Amino acid sequence: MDKTAYISVYDKTGVEEFARGLEELGFGIYASGSTYKLLKEAGVDAEEVRYSPPVPSAVLKALSGRFPAVSENGVELPRFYVVAANLYPIASIVGQEEFAIEELSNYLDQSNSAVLRAAARDFTSVITVASPVDYGPVLRALKEAGGLEPEIKRQLAAKAWQCLAAYDATVAQYLSETGSLLGDEVVLSLRKVADLDYGENRHQRAAFYALSGARPRGLNAARILSGPGLNFNHYLDLDTAFELALEFEEPVCMIAKHDRPAGVCAAGTQAESLRGALRSDPAGAVGGTAAFNRQVEADTASALAETFIESVIAPGYSPEALKILKSKEGLRAVALPAPVLSPYEVNLRSVSGGVLIEAKDNRLFSSEPACVTRRKPSEAEMLSLALAWKTVKYAKTYAVALAEGRAVAAISAAESSTYDAVRSAAWKMRDKRSILPGAGPLVMAADAALPLKTLQAALAAGITAVIQPGGWQDDEDCVALCDSRNVAMLFSGIRHFRH
């Protein structure tokens, strides 16, 4: 083993101590650029390796074992045993709002990228150190054992390849932000935003990641203003609740539980919307997440403080509202500006042996819903139908939402048939009639086309207007049944399955 090391790092955390440790072990230190300058100023005896950008050809030649390898300032380079290199933080650069794509080439780190690649390729002979966190373990192994076990070298090389892959993927993601993410090759680089307390269950580990280099939007831009940290389930509920709340222009409150709507109300004021959403499903709201599409005010915060809601998300909070929410033990207040959705966003789902990717369901309608019955919905029914249709889009398939006035009366989701969904929703609604006085005509939205048997069950529950995708073999019979009962029905022409 030749005791030689080449060091060239952008992140200089701990590099002085690492170089001194190598020097104490008898290593000859070679360094380039700002790393060399830092080490010399720190009193480390290092040889300077000069080169003309974009890549240090002599270093690459030395790592390949092809001699002679001489730097531009005449220094003959040995074959290095230790190579420490890390890359320019491109993710933090391209993630800045003011960054322009024309500037990208000025920030790409070709030099250290080439060095890391060359060192990691020869992992049996070279110790490749791509992260400052590995300086200490490498020094200890060299001091105590005189070298590193082959398995450790492989792990360090793997980490270097992961750094390179993440770096390249970040650039690819940035350049393809205006293109399709459903190509033959999809490259993703993820950056950890936060470790989570646990996953869906307490025995499962979990973390939240964002696309590396992506400008903060969505939950990676959220700020926890009060309360404890968030777990995996909180993030799912926050996402569903806030996205549904943003479907509305008028003040609305949406309560989510287990990644599905539990209560929705769009009343005249924010506080009334909260109370209406809580009445929609008092039991389902317990431990849920409340979302608002407006700044939370003091009267809303006072009402929230009297409930068992685990988290609240809104674009902002008045000072008095935040003071009230902070006084509620265990309540998480999360602030998130309305995200700007990209038309190229995708959903990813892990399956055995791979990943399923689909374009995100960002449409509410593909065109204006068509009234297929003789009677058109009244103005009051249309308001309730719009509310129910927005709600059912975020419920698990098969799903049905019943609405009266500006509140959802019952939601049934994740059923194995539309018939079961309707029966379950009707049962929930009847069970709450003593709590929810009738606020007008009862309407229904279904995320899937309705068979005749399902529609019959809905009308038996007192439904006066329906919105459904249509496109089923029973469509004509369903229209005839509605006409015979003076029920209005709209075909949306689009379905919203959510599994």
Is the confidence at residue 484, as pLDDT, over 60?
Answer: yes
pLDDT above 60: residue 467: yes
Question: Within 13 Å of residue 348, how many CA atoms lie on the same side as its CB?
Answer: 14
Indicate the SS3 state at residue 323: helix
Rounded Cα distance between 412 and 214, Å, is 36
Q: Which of 73-87, 173-187, 355-369, 457-471 has the weakest average pLDDT? A: 173-187
Per-residue pLDDT tens digits for 232-263: 999 999 999 999 999 999 999 999 999 999 99
Higher pLDDT, 319 or 339: 319
Which pLDDT does position 301 carry in this prediction? 96
Q: Which two tokens stand for residue 442?
A: 């009862």
pLDDT of residue 268: 83
**Which domains, from first to last, does the chain contain?**
4-175 (3.40.50.1380), 223-335 (3.40.140.20), 370-491 (3.40.140.20)
At residue 371 the predicted structure's pLDDT band, cuts being 50, 70 and 90, is very high
DSSP-derived 3-state class of residue 472: coil
* Whether the predicted pLDDT of 382 surpasses 60: yes
Work out the percent of the chain whose per-residue pLDDT is above 70.
Answer: 95
For the chain, the farthest-separated pair of C-alpha atoms sits apart, in whole angstroms, at: 96
- Say how far apart CA 389 and CA 377 lie, in whole Å: 14
Q: Which helix (H) or strand (E) holds 442?
A: strand 442-446
Q: Provide the mean pLDDT of the chain.
A: 91
Whether the Cβ atoms of residue 90 and residue 153 lie closer than 8 Å to each other: no
Give the pLDDT of residue 435: 46
Please tell me what DSSP assigns to residue 220. Answer: G
DSSP 61-109: HHHHT-S--B-TTSPBP---SEEEE----HHHHHTSTT--GGGHHHH--
Q: What pLDDT is recorded for position 1? A: 61
- Residue ranges with strand state E in 307-365: 311-314, 332-335, 346-351, 354-359
φ and ψ of 294, to 5 deg: -135, 165
Mean pLDDT over 446-464 rounds to: 96
Task: Give residue-wise pLDDT tens across range 22-78.
Answer: 999 999 999 999 999 999 999 999 999 999 988 899 999 999 887 789 999 999 999
Number of alpha carbons in the 13 Å side-chain half-sphere of residue 46: 30
Q: What is the pLDDT of residues 193-204, one digit of tens each?
A: 899 999 999 999
Percent of the chain with pLDDT over 90: 72
DSSP-assigned letters across all residues of 396-418? PSS-EEEEETTEEEEEE-S-SSH
Backbone angles phi, psi at 489, to 5 degrees: -140, 135
Q: How far apart are the C-alpha atoms of 413 and 498, rounded to whole Å?
A: 10
Question: How many CA atoms are closer than 13 Å to the CA of 236, on its beta-carbon side?
Answer: 16
pLDDT in tens, 410-446: 999 999 999 999 999 999 887 665 444 456 799 999 9
pLDDT 10s digits, 263-277: 999 988 999 999 999
- Supply φ then ψ for residue 388, to 5 degrees: -65, -40
Q: What is the mean pLDDT of residues 160-170?
A: 91
| pLDDT score, position 343 | 60
pLDDT band at 340 (very low <50, low <70, confident <90, very high): low
Question: Following CA atoms 275, 279, 282, 287 in sequence, which dihedral angle do they give, to the nearest 10 degrees?
Answer: -30
For residue 356, pLDDT beyond 60: yes
DSSP 198: -
Q: What is the Rg, in whole angstroms, of the alpha carbon atoms belonging to the chain?
A: 30
Distance of CA 313 to the CA centre of its chain: 15
Average pLDDT of the segment spanning 216-244: 90
The whole-number pLDDT of residue 280 equals 86
CB 449 within 8 A of CB 473: no
- What does the pLDDT read at residue 44? 95
Around Cβ 478, how many Cβ atoms within 10 Å?
Answer: 27
Handedness of CA 229, 232, 237, 242 (dihedral sign): positive
Mean pLDDT of 116-136: 96
CA 74 and chain centroid, separation: 51
What tokens were used for 11? 């992140």
Report the 3 state secondary structure along 171-205: HHHHHCCCCCCCCCCCCCCEEEEEECCCCCCCCCC
Q: Are strands 442-446 and 465-468 parallel, antiparallel or unpaired?
A: parallel
One-letter amino acid at 337 equals P
| Identity of the amino acid at 30 | Y
* CA pseudo-torsion sign 131, 133, 136, 141: negative
Is the peptide bond preceding residue 216 cis, with omega within 30 degrees of 0? no
| pLDDT above 50 (res 219) | yes
CA pair distance 274, 251, nearest whole angstrom:
10
Indicate the range of 184-198, 260-274, 446-460 predicted with least confidence: 184-198
pLDDT of residue 436: 47
Q: DSSP strand E in 136-279: where?
A: 190-195, 207-211, 223-226, 253-256, 261-265
Higher pLDDT, 99 or 57: 57
- Strands (DSSP E) contained in 198-345 are 207-211, 223-226, 253-256, 261-265, 289-292, 311-314, 332-335
Residue 175 — very low, low, confident or very high, per pLDDT cuts 50/70/90? Answer: confident
Q: Strand pairing partners for 334? A: 224, 313
Instruction: Name every residue whose Cβ is closer than 8 Å to that of residue 394 and which is 6 or more positions away in sequence.
Output: 240, 243, 244, 260, 261, 498
